[in-house]
Amino acid sequence: MRLCFATNSHHKLEEVMAVLGGTFQLLTLANVGCKEELPETQETIAGNANQKAAYVWNHYKIPCFADDTGLEVEALDGAPGVFSARYAGPQRSSKDNLNLLLKKMEGLHNREAQFRTVISLILPQGEWLFEGIVKGVILTEPRGTAGFGYDPIFQPHGSRKTLAEMTMEEKNEISHRALAVKKLKVFLNAL
């Protein structure tokens, strides 16, 4: 099956390909000729995932899926949440986002947080959503150089490593995105 993953992030693409394996012919936005920035104007993570997948489906008529991910921090009432990628501004700087979050968390004792990923899959038959969540804590300083985004300050429960200290294989055993992609894979294999 030919399937477009609606992302421009090479980090996300690597993670998803590692989980899906060679079962599907995975196309990128560049492969289908999509050069424009996909819209993300919804108020929910699921809404953004659907908006991106629908954009590709409506403009390129190819089965596709898109994801959106948010880091939800308990002490910050779920922020940055749907605004995780642009938390520190429209420049979408991972370093700025991470530093702003650490600044807002200064002096807070409740460090509980979760990463939530929602994948929207659009096929000719309809749309389906798949969710993955990993719970953990926000550290006071970054650790590790792998991963991206908030990975260096997020330590999953039951692990001594941050997501940025894990190998791709370790991360794909427990991460929010991997959990959602595994559900997607089960669904696609059953078609």
Active site residues: 68
Non-local (6+) Cβ contacts of 37 within 8 A are 8
Neighbours of 110 (CB within 10 A): 12
Nearest to 162 by CA among 170, 152, 171: 152
Residues 180, 117: contact at Cβ < 8 Å? Answer: yes
C-alpha span between 85 and 41 (Å, rounded): 12
Distance of CA 10 to the CA centre of its chain: 12
CA–CA dist 38, 45 (Å, integer):
14
Separation in Å, CA 45 to CA 74, 121, 166: 17, 14, 25
**CB count, 10 Å around CB of 46?**
17
- Tell me how crowded residue 188 is: count the other CB atoms within 10 A of its CB: 18
